[in-house]
Structure 1
Amino acid sequence: MTTTTAYSDLPGLVGSDLGFTDWRTITQEQVNTFADATDDHQWIHTDPERAKDGPFGAPIAHGFLTLSLLIPMWESLLTVDGVSTKVNYGLDKVRFVSPVKVGARIRMTAAIAGVTEVAGGYQLTVDVTIEIEGGAKPAVVARSLQRFYA
């Protein structure tokens, strides 16, 4: 479910849990496209036959592929009315806790840890967890910084 708020109401979001995104399936095609874009063709990602005998029993998504999906998932959790520009400002902390096997489904939860006024806008500090359906541990845990400008 998407939370919609006005730009002027951003400071009031501190402590808000934005809930969960929809589940999305990681495909081999996504992994291969990411490998081409980043020139990271390690066999644990791109060779399904060899990966069956590897440490994870199947090909896995690149950690940075999973992390990059934070942005479209974030977009589905929060809509801010009255902004001219949104900027992914960066990450304070990232951990790749568990590998995501091709075919697995992931979703993200987010909570607003802080809102700081910056020149011309607000910076949100967001604690995010990308979980794997049925997994005992999450795939990614991160602190994301998102900026909104009026």
Structure 2
Amino acid sequence: MTILNTSTAETLPALPADDPPGPQEASYLQQPPKTKAMEGEDVVFPCFLKSYADEVQAVEKVTWYVQSSEGRKNVLQGNETAEDVFAGRVFLSGDLSEGDLSMTLRNISVEDRGLYFCAFISTESTILQGGGTKLSIRKGLGEQR
């Protein structure tokens, strides 16, 4: 099993659609480093697989989890909610056949703050993990938490 962590402090440049990675270039998951929202809003966490088209087809399982001050919580495993706190509020919203592993979280609250990671396991048991997206919540009249 190969594990590749693609953590980065800044947004990775997008690859042109007609210019996939060459044979010596690694695949990676691209996530924006941060996002903000107000309580009660829905948030889309973008996550894109940058790779060969055949590896996109080899996505076996998509997982999302959040790291917060309370520890790690699994959010989604496949399209199944992993923990009750997210039940009915979270789903995969991207087109997996296009390498879009994005997730939507509905009706966010301050308890949803944290660093959200997307990961996938390929049919060859390769694991790729994105660099994480930090969710900041604004409560009410612009107060940030």
TM-score of the pair, normalised by structure 1: 0.26
Higher relative contact order (CA 8 A, sep 6+): 2
TM-score by length of 2: 0.27
Name the larger-Rg structure. 1
